[in-house]
Chain A
Amino acid sequence: MQSQFGNVEKNKEGEGIGRAVPVLDLEEVTKRYGDFLALNRISLVVEAGECYGLIGPNGAGKSTLMRIAAGILTNFDGTARVFGLDIKRHAGQAKARIGYLPEEPSLYLRLTARQLLRYFARLYGRRDGTDDRIDLLLSLVGLGDRADDRVATFSKGMRQRLAIARALIHDPELLMLDEPTMGLDPATAERVRAFILGQRREGRTILVCTHYMDEAELLCDRIGVIDGGRLIASGTSQEIKALCSGGPERIEVLLENPRLDDGQLGAFRSYELLPNGIIGQADFGSAFEALRPNGIISIRRVQPSLKDSFVFLTEEGADSAV
């Protein structure tokens, strides 16, 4: 499988021969729903073997971007290339190399897991060895013993895992996962993350869209922050965090009395409560003054988290990009 991911290949669009072609290359992609601007001139490159994460608030345009990259949405302005193939003009060839997990598993409940995977194998033009691959994938996602059960009897986590198996049925080179762990219990979410990490280790290129900052940090080599249809930041998690350098400090305060009222919490821009204190974004002096009545044991500056950066970027509407 590894050999499939060497992306030094002839560019089908004739823009160069022997040049490393990005797995995904979006240029000035703009998408409107009526009068609503869902995506505003987004440009993005994902290289081979990379895991790229898209984070952003609800309605930011992550799923729309994902659908465009997967060739599902076709009415947009700009250019989207997958393995150098224009997704509008060579949709069939491009989509044959993409595995897509939608935001909702969207499975046919009346079918068994095996029937469902067989249908999608046919849609992807697979004939030979389909049953073997189905068995392999179902085992891989932990559904080997439920292959002949109807999807309607599956739990949400099982359905999500089956949907992942469906995305892999044709052994795609690029895997696009839209909110793969949303709504799952922690154990199942962890299992899915481990699976994605396994795929990444195998060298598969992954584009993942998530709400969870720790998940993005764990899985992704690079992260893009989308807000209001614009890609407002893109880079490694360290680079994204560094964008917060001009913003409020991140402060950890340990307290004798950790019970805080709304006025005291108001000194923090964003925060997390600790068993014996608080950690969050705030002005150092203001936080000190606000929390002093509760008996400060210690107060120190700490490195901002990805979440802090995300809140900072999406609230400030920063348009800088790394």
Chain B
Amino acid sequence: MPIPPCSGLLAVARFELEAIAGDRRFALGLVLQVAIVALLVPLLTDYAEKLGSGGDVLGTRADGFAPVAVWGKGNSSLEKAMSEKNRLRLYRVDSEDEARDGLQSGRYCMVLGIPPSPQQDVAVIVNRGDPRSIPAWETFQLICEAYRVTYREGLVRNALAERLGDASTGATEDLEGQVESLAGSYLEPIDLRIMSPETARLTDVEPTPVGNESAPRGNQSGTTTGPSDGANGDELLGGSGFLSLVFLAFGLCFPLFSGSGMMVESITGEKERRTLEAVLASPTSRIWILLGKCASAFLVSAAQSVALLLILSGALGVRNLPAVAFCLLVAGAAVLSSATVVSILCKGSKEASLAITILYVLIFVLFFGPLTLPGSMAFISPLAPMVRFAAGEPAGSATAVVLLSTVAFSGICVAVSLALFRRDDVVFGPRPSLQALLRDVVSSRIQTFRSRAILTGAMGALASLPAMLFPSLFLLPSIAFLGRWGFVAALVFAALVEEYFKPYGLYLLPTGLNSREVLALGGIAGLSFSLVENLLFTLALLGSGALQGSLLLVRYLLAPVMHSGLTMIVAAGWSRGGYARYLALFAASSIHGLYNLVAMLAVM
């Protein structure tokens, strides 16, 4: 009698959950994790506040910055003066709506509207009752004051020049008296209009006659901050609010990693202790066993995350709680599914611990790295949707793209996990190398010359990534330590990296291909590599504005020939096996390195 699949899945999930509940130390660890993050909330918010206001948190170098959106007239002296200050980070936006959205979402702490004419008021939109709570407000104030003084001085000087011109033509009034009179009329402050985003638009700003005495501090000038101040979680916004959201995301990420730990214990641990064999002997299929394990880990992570979210949302004023929870679960699924792949691949706990640590680092870089980039790039972080929803920002197309990409990534990881978990060699060993696994998968699916050509061509094109990355990482240290020889070493190293990676598609194909086919595939790999490399080179030249037709022509003629020829050499050596592989790689790298050197000398 067949056993319903869900029965096995539920049995495994229940078993894993009971195991956690029964493991007092692990359960205590989960609770403590939530408690510690909750206890850190006051500290984090305080830190965010201090960091945002430019306070000295950890030392003199821990000064914060305030993100300011600038809209209006470009290249003004005011903007230039502000951009020179470390505490202000200016983001030029195209429209007022964009600036307003950024202000509401917490990306910017204020918006600076620069009028076309200096005679008009500089308009500032903030969303707090007291602009002094805005990070780096004092810095901002000082620059504006200086701008006004400079501007007034200019006006006085121009007026004086006019009057002096008149005097030279016969005017008889007292010059000193004229100067005082002029200075008095122009020494009126130019108004800084402080407005609320809900009630004002920059375009509403009318030219204000000189003479308005209102001080730029507080809300008393012109348009006020409006009725929403202090309500609707306004404390969330501004620079410190943005940091608080990042801390929120940071805190919420912790439970995702405990789920990964569970997966390692549940899969790699069982492999290591050999308890998996008896489980796999049961009628429950491998798919349901794996999904059961994933489900239990996901449930624990989700429960922990939601508990933390509820605690943190109270402290940090999260707005769209269901949407944030959803984003959190999506991000959690991505972390957990990638940890599942690692857990299945690893042979033992030690190996898994190392691999999971590396995975954590990669995830942190992926999650938090983009948040430090300019606004246009920050959205690629899987945490960006969470931060946006937490700030009360509506879902946009960028949010949808990121969420869908994260879901797709999770799906791919789950599919890879299932494929790996079905393999006897991965589960019971001896586990093949990653390259052997890839070769196995590829060789079973790619049978014709055409498909092989597509594979080697695609891999040749992709080889441009390591070809760019590794040498650039190697270049600076090598020059630092070896001087001019370091530069030569970097050129040779770049050649070696390129020659190794270009025919990578061939490494994934079964051995025993005939030599003509190997040479043809090598040529295709080299050609596709050179096409991508030339394209990137052209784009780089275009970007730098130093496009040289002759240089491009030479490159477009020589590079494809050289890359194809050298990749054919490496491919031929690879197909022969043994020492021939290393000899071919060495020969191709040497020729390539020499070419690089000569080309560089010729350009210099």
Contact = CB atoms under 8 A, between A and B. Distances in A.
B23 interface: yes
Contact of A93 (B22, B275, B283, B284): B283
Q: Of B8, B285, B424, which is in contact with the most chain A CB atoms at under 10 Å from its CB?
A: B424
B278 A125 contact: no
A123 B425 contact: no
B412 interface: no
Given A92-B2, A110-B19, A73 B428 contact: yes
Interface stretch (A101-109, A248-256, A313-321): A101-109
B58 interface: no
Contact of A95 (B4, B22, B282): B282
B281 A100 contact: yes
A301 to B, nearest CB: 46
Nearest to B14: A122
A34 B280 contact: no
Interface residues of A, number: 30
Contacts of B274: 102, 104, 106
Interface string A67-93: 100111111000000000000000111
Contacts of A73: 424, 428
Contacts of B277: 67, 72, 102, 106
Contacts of A95: 281-283
Contacts of A120: 278, 282
Contacts of B423: 75
Contacts of B2: 92-93, 96
Contacts of A282: none
Size category of the binding interface on chain B: 35 or more
A10 to B, nearest CB: 15
B422 to A, nearest CB: 7
Contacts of A96: 1-3, 283
Interface string B12-39: 1011000100110000000000000000
B430 interface: yes
B7 interface: yes
A222 to B, nearest CB: 23
B432 interface: yes
B278 A166 contact: yes
Contact of A100 (B22, B278, B430, B436): B278
Contact of B281 (A71, A104, A110, A119): A71
B273 interface: yes
Contacts of A124: 3, 282-283
Nearest to B274: A106
Interface string B414-433: 00000000111100111010
B424 A123 contact: no
A71 B282 CA distance: 9
Interface string A1-43: 0000000000000000000000000000000011000000000
Given A75-B423, A110-B22, A125 B275 contact: no
A102 B11 CA distance: 21
Contacts of B401: none
A108 B430 CA distance: 23
Nearest to A121: B11
B273 A106 contact: yes
Contacts of A70: 281
A124 B280 CA distance: 11
B167 interface: no
A302 B356 CA distance: 63
B22 A33 contact: no
A91 B283 contact: yes
A119 B280 CA distance: 13
A213 interface: no
A102 B283 contact: no
Contact of A108 (B4, B7, B275, B282): B275
B273 A75 contact: no
Interface in A104-139: 104, 106-108, 110, 119-120, 122-125
Contacts of A240: none
Contacts of B280: 72
A168 to B, nearest CB: 13
A55 interface: no
A34 B430 CA distance: 8
Interface in B194-238: none
B7 A125 contact: yes
Contacts of A74: 422, 424
A124 B3 CA distance: 7
Given A34-B425, A106-B275, A166-B278, A123 B285 contact: no
A65 interface: no
A61 B85 CA distance: 74
Interface in B38-92: none
Contacts of B282: 95, 120, 123-124
A291 interface: no
B283 A125 contact: yes
Nearest to A71: B281
A98 B281 contact: yes
Contacts of B273: 106
B279 interface: yes
B281 A72 contact: yes
7 contacts: A34-B430, A71-B281, A75-B422, A75-B423, A91-B285, A104-B274, A106-B277
Interface of B: 1-4, 7-8, 10-12, 14-15, 19, 22-23, 273-285, 422-425, 428-430, 432, 436
Given A92-B284, A110-B22, A125-B4, 7 more contacts: A72-B281, A74-B424, A96-B2, A102-B277, A119-B11, A122-B10, A124-B283
